[in-house]
Amino acid sequence: MTPSDVRTLPVPDGLDGLRVDAGLAKLLGFSRTVAAGIVEGGSVLLDGAVAGKSDRLTAGAELEVTLPEPQRPAQPVAEPVPGLRVLHEDDDIVVVDKPVGVAAHPSPGWTGATVVGGLAGAGVRVATSGAAERHGVVHRLDAGTSGVMVVAKSERAYSVLKQAFRQRSVDKYYRALVQGHPDPIRGTIDAPIDRHPRHDWRFAVVAGGRPAVTHYEVVEAFRSASLCEVRLETGRTHQIRVHFAALRHPCCGDLTYGADPALAQRLGLTRQWLHAHRLGFDHPADGRRVEFSSPYPDDLTVALHVLAAAATSGE
């Protein structure tokens, strides 16, 4: 092991009382199974003592985690993925509505369902360009983010779409429910993003980081939160989550970036309220502009209903 394989993680308030394996999975973005395996191997210390996976976390405690050597991502497993809907398919592209809890493609530490595996399980052949575990993938959504995503089926489409994303000619619109009320109600967040200087499983606004630009507008305001239309100009990892956290308006339910756990519980959220609801681009075959959209999934809709009901009742 090298020193970079050891990570020291302070336990945030939002993970207080969770089992060690569950908390570790949330902090590192691993699956619960992988996190449990790390704990069972004696590689996690909780305030200096070897932790068991069923031990409970306490806010302010310190986890010291020795990670296993990096492994090459597994090949995608061809299997049906519940909730993965095909919105459009032709000879060049397939557009899907990705459910929460599904990654775009396999990666180290992820043992759950993937879009690539789900498409293979449905008999959809995709482009073979790119690394074997991410064939056809030209952009990604976090496993904890739902919404519309395009995958290339032909090699031509893969090349054209990759270039379109690089040139920022793809319209990427999200809806984000953020805590509080951003001021001004519409604006642009232009702040570079890179790995957090102390906690490298997270990202942060960092001087000298990669350029990142997020445009937003509040479309509905509630007593304790605001629903925002968000357009990404760039596509950095966790960009929306990091930018709104930097404004002190984290996405509701996003405990990794400082969201209020009490509000998340009241809204019934177990993940960040963030949804890729609209995607527009020039079709790689003939250049015509196409646009696809995805409705809110049930958990996000319920959270909005709770807020609307509170406003009506005056709570």
**Cα 306 to Cα 298: distance, rounded to the nearest angstrom:** 12
83's CB contacts (< 8 A; 6+ apart) are 99, 102
How, if at all, do strands 171-179 and 225-232 pair? antiparallel
Q: What are phi and psi of 173, to 5 degrees?
A: -110, 135
Neighbours of 268 (CB within 10 A): 14
Q: Mark whether 190 is an active-site residue.
A: no
The widest CA-to-CA distance across the chain, in whole angstroms, is 61
Find the radius of gyration of the CA atoms of the chain: 20
Centroid of chain to Cα 108: 16
Of 81, 74, 87, 126, the residue nearest 101 (C-alpha) = 81
Alpha-carbon gap, residue 62 to 76, rounded angstroms: 35
CA distance 54 to 63: 14
Residue of 92, 97, 142, 254 marked active site:
142
The residues that are catalytic are 142
